[in-house]
Amino acid sequence: MRNTAKITTAVLAAGALTFGLTACGSDQDAASDGSGPLIVAASPVPHAEILTFVKDNLAEKAGLDLEVKEFTDYVTPNTATEDGSVGANFFQTQPYLDDFNKKNGTHIVSVVDVHLEPLGLYSHKVKKADELKSGATIALPNDTVNEGRALQLLAANGLLTLKDGVGTAATPADITENPKKLKFKELEAAQTPRSLDDVDAAVVNGNYAIEADLKPAEDALVLESAEGNPNVNLLAVKEGQEDDPRVKKLADLLTSPEVKKFIEDKYAGSVIASF
């Protein structure tokens, strides 16, 4: 990826350990230094790709100095935003953000909705979901919200039944009917596409599917519906930074006609603009 710094999950433990000590930040950090570049933490695909398009084609004209940092996990971008290592992040949905703030005592808030990445069920062993055999093993993302989304996807397509009202807090313990006696392997979201040779099927987040050269619109056995879907990916900042002029400029650019066309042309329905 051009002009990006790649940060792997190897830093996750260190980030978690230092989070409590650095949460207050400093006057010189990336979040509060309005005179410097806006540093944005992002998942590589499609988030960093979209930001790189903005950086290369729109930012200079808008007077925005934009720097993109890639992260490959779903935790460090929020802890880095909270401690001021970055000024914003672009990788998550509102339900995930709400759950993260509640569990970690962070103060991250949404600025603007940008796009939807439909969650999908994929397999290297069957062509249709109803071809899954009794006792088949399905890999699920193991974070609270995405596991709940995955189970809701399976329920919506008749593979199982969940307790009423459980929503995205669902876990396998909330399954009330499992006619195929499906088994579940809970993995970090980034690992689910890599598990496809070892399990019968896997529910994969849209960004990780694209990164693994899967085409959600074509390859998914079943795919989340975009209509009424609350799981839109958003630009987020630490509370109090919403009015940073750099953040406002980026929010405008991320919801511009140019970005919408870029998303439509590049991702062909695998990523859907929400504006």
pLDDT per residue over 7-55, tens digit each? 333 333 334 333 343 334 443 354 555 679 999 999 999 999 999 999 9
Judge whether 3 lies within some domain.
no
Number of domains in the chain: 2
Residue 127 CA to residue 219 CA, distance in Å, equals 9
Let me know if residue 59 belongs to a domain.
yes
CA nearest neighbour of 46 among 224, 269, 223 = 269
Domain encompassing residue 252: 38-118+230-273
Q: Are residues 55 and 147 in the same domain?
A: no
Question: Could you report the per-residue pLDDT of 183-225, keeping only the tens digit for each?
Answer: 999 999 999 999 999 999 999 999 999 999 999 989 999 999 8
- Verify that 166 and 106 share a domain, yes or no: no
The CATH number that applies at residue 98 is 3.40.190.10
**Are 235 and 206 members of one domain?**
no
CA distance 225 to 228: 8
pLDDT tens across 130-162, in order? Answer: 999 999 999 999 998 999 999 999 999 999 999
Q: What is the DSSP letter of 58?
A: T
The alpha helices in the chain, defined as continuous H runs, are 12-22, 49-57, 59-62, 76-83, 94-104, 144-156, 206-211, 216-219, 245-254, 257-267
Same domain for 262 and 246: yes
